[in-house]
Structure 1
Amino acid sequence: MDILTMSGIRVAVVIPAYNARDYLAQTLQSVIDQTHKALEIVIVDDGSTDDTASICRRFAASDPRIRILSSENRGVAAARNTGIEASKSSYIAFLDADDIWHPTYVERMLSALHPLPNTWGAVYALHRLIDPEGYCTRSGSSLNARDSIFSRHLVFRFVGNGSGFMVRRAVVDKIGGYDPSYASKGIGGCEDFDFELRTAEHFKIETVPLGLVGYRSHSAAMSSDRSRMARSLLAVTERCIARNPQLPAFVVGCARASAHLYAFSKFAALKDWSSAATSLKHIYHHSPMLASGILARLIFTKADRAKRRALSKIWPARQQKQKNLRKFEEIDPLLPLVGGWSRFRTKTLLSRLSEIDRSGECSAATSLLGRYVAPERSSIVKHPKV
């Protein structure tokens, strides 16, 4: 399909916003500046108490594509569901109110997904990490996979945030939207990963392996609550395993090890040693050698930090800011991303999981989940416009 024909396809952009005044204007500008102009922009003000609503109204006054909805604060999953129901487009892209897109994001994502058969339900892009001022601090992971990626995504978590995923509306019709129950239980944070996994259980997924998303890191971000993020990821992983009893034992073991590796890093950073020890036990059960390596690295890191603190008292280091950082929009999206491999995430592991995905060992999920729709997702409450 040529670019001119593609340009007329409308895409809904759903943006949940809660007390987002510091970054919302930059986020909305990145949507307005998209090279693909056929957009339906739905902002859901999730009970903000700051200037979020006025910023939304200012942008809406000059762009008729923008609609604003408001609700009481119920969490990002419920806000996304509100935006989904209010939208009409056949394609839906999600963007958090503190992240930004490269101007070609929608165009590239739609061009990758639309020509594919309907068995392909979604497409994802990779990301670069940005600071509060919008400067790139480092590359996100370069790892990606396509087609039937269920087991690989369960272990490798290719997307990494809620702003790099576009779906056909048929996906929402099938799986029922985002699950708000995590937030209601105080473990919100990884609802996007849950949504991606349920998509992968039913559909093939395409990838645009470019850093088209600027994923912002700042102290007020949901991801800065390390304990909640750790517990959220563990809960998402266990729910996925529970509803897919046909998963091979190897995939289950790798998935739990991967989730607990993430959780261990978060708990250790908080010095929550009881929770960290629990995660380390799970890692040890999967691989004693991996657990031993993690423990040795933790001890070495603590000793190295103590040494640096002692030296800094003798020779105070000069406070220097990095001078070579560039704004996200200044970076060519074709510039390769780097990293992602580790002692656990190896090419050998990815290859073995690829064989499982190709062999269809996880394909029973489709028939099992044909009847699965969580009741919390099936009823999306409508909210009045602001």
Structure 2
Amino acid sequence: MTAMKLVTISGIEVAVVIPAYNASPYLAQTLQCVVDQTHKALEIIIVDDGSTDETASICRRFAAADPRIKLLSTENRGVAAARNIGIASSTSDYIAFLDADDLWHPTYVERMLSALHPLPEAWGAVYALHRFIDTEGYCTKSGSSVNARDCILARHLVFRFVGNGSGFMVRRAVVDKIGGYDPRYARQGIGGCEDFDFELRTAEHFKIETVPLGLVGYRLHAEAMSADKSRMARSLLAVSEQCIARNPELPAYVVSCARASAHLYAFSKYASLKDWQSAATSLKYIYDHSPTLAASVLVRLILTKARRAARRTLRKAWPVGRKTERNVKKFEEIDPLSPLVGGWSRFRTKALLRRLSEIDRAGGCCAATSSAGLMPGGRALSNIQS
């Protein structure tokens, strides 16, 4: 997308829900990026999810200077429950979600609301793309440039366009229809992909718009939930299988692609942990989808390990000083219109995206459950704070 025309939406209030658990290293920077948004009609709700560090005091400092900020405190129950508390405490017709260690470009809310608000009510959400940032806020690489719009269930199940919990804005009607985030993943010890689950359930009932700009700074660091590779792998597999179970009308081809996509992700995580038993299980699913793809995965793994071993040997034989000079920019220094790159692979091809697009157009947003307020598995959501 090129330059976007921003419609007059300055008076429309948007709720920003920020779950925070022991987030003190990055929280001030995150809150500052919200305070600095060009769209000023914000209802900023921070949910302190049982933190034991300085999270609450940082929030109180910001709240004292900005009456739009409200701090809620609860016992530690996980990010899904925290988001649900924030949703229940908000009143705005639009809700945006931001993790306590990520960043938004100053025009994020304005661009997202300008994309979603003019559309008919059948369009329930909008998402943005992201750039990866490090602990100091420097961009380390581009996120995927691949995106899609309209009815995107099959494509999103396979391509996972959003990629984090900080790039999604919904109408309140979405929560009224599908409920909030599912806290059961955390209770089962596989929290991490609740945002993907929420996006999929939204796509089952609503059309989704895209703002294909790198408006989100997705921070990678050792304390992040995504750093637990085994849990993230199990979480993504569980979310994918839940979606497949909810939508028995999905064509077998989509199901096969979805499982291959999830297990490609899981295989990379298990292999990095040298959990070869779990990696072998994932490789079998990949083989069932495409023996050629499975073979290429194995070859790439072997070559990668060989290259790393060679580099270690060379460093021992000819040690050299590490370069410390940065050739990257801070997230806020990058023009949001600067194109993102990548996202395609031997599996995620343009041909696959075209085929899934045809399936999405043929199927539409045909939810597996027609009753409002159903959570995965058909459980009625009587209290989204649970």
Report the TM-score when normalising by structure 1.
0.96
| In 2, Cα distance between equivalents of 1:302 and 1:211 | 32
- Which residue does 2:149 correspond to in 1? 146
- Which residue does 1:378 correspond to in 2? 382
Output aligned runs, 1:41-190, within 5 Å: 41-190=44-193
| In 2, Cα distance between equivalents of 1:377 and 1:22 | 34
Amino acid at match of 2:221: H
- Which residue does 2:291 correspond to in 1? 288
Output aligned runs, 1:139-288, within 5 Å: 139-288=142-291
Amino acid at match of 1:60: A
| In 2, Cα distance between equivalents of 1:139 and 1:371 | 36
Amino acid at match of 1:31: V
Whether contact under 8 Å (2:151, 2:208) holds in the other structure is yes
Per-residue deviation, 1:366:
5.3
| In 2, Cα distance between equivalents of 1:15 and 1:328 | 19
User: SS at 1:98's partner residue?
Assistant: coil
Amino acid at match of 2:173: A
Amino acid at match of 2:374: Y
| In 2, Cα distance between equivalents of 1:76 and 1:377 | 17
Per-residue deviation, 1:370:
4.8
Whether contact under 8 Å (2:128, 2:162) holds in the other structure is yes
With over 3 angstroms needed to count, the CA separation of the structure-2 counterparts of 1:365 and 1:4, relative to structure 1, is closer
Per-residue deviation, 1:280:
0.4
| In 1, Cα distance between equivalents of 2:127 and 2:39 | 17
With over 3 angstroms needed to count, the CA separation of the structure-2 counterparts of 1:258 and 1:24, relative to structure 1, is same
Across the aligned residues of Structure 1 and Structure 2, the Cα RMSD in angstroms comes to 1.4
Amino acid at match of 1:89: S
| In 2, Cα distance between equivalents of 1:181 and 1:342 | 32
Amino acid at match of 1:68: L
Say whether 1:31 aligns with 2:34.
Answer: yes
Whether contact under 8 Å (2:132, 2:140) holds in the other structure is yes
Whether contact under 8 Å (1:122, 1:204) holds in the other structure is yes
User: SS at 2:157's partner residue?
Assistant: helix
Q: List per-residue Cα deviations over 1:180-226 (Å, max 9, x = no partner).
A: 00000000000000000000000000000000000000000000000
User: SS at 2:25's partner residue?
Assistant: coil
Whether contact under 8 Å (2:373, 2:381) holds in the other structure is no
Q: Percent identity?
A: 76
User: SS at 2:81's partner residue?
Assistant: helix
Q: What are structure 2's unaligned runs of at least 5 residues?
A: none
Per-residue deviation, 1:310:
1.1
Say whether 1:302 aligns with 2:305.
Answer: yes
Per-residue deviation, 1:311:
1.2
Whether contact under 8 Å (2:128, 2:213) holds in the other structure is yes
Report the TM-score when normalising by structure 2.
0.96
- Which residue does 2:14 correspond to in 1? 11
Amino acid at match of 1:48: S
| In 2, Cα distance between equivalents of 1:359 and 1:141 | 26
Q: List per-residue Cα deviations over 1:56-110 (Å, max 9, x = no partner).
A: 0000000000000000000000000000000000000000000010000000000
Per-residue deviation, 1:312:
1.0
Whether contact under 8 Å (1:44, 1:68) holds in the other structure is yes
User: SS at 2:292's partner residue?
Assistant: helix
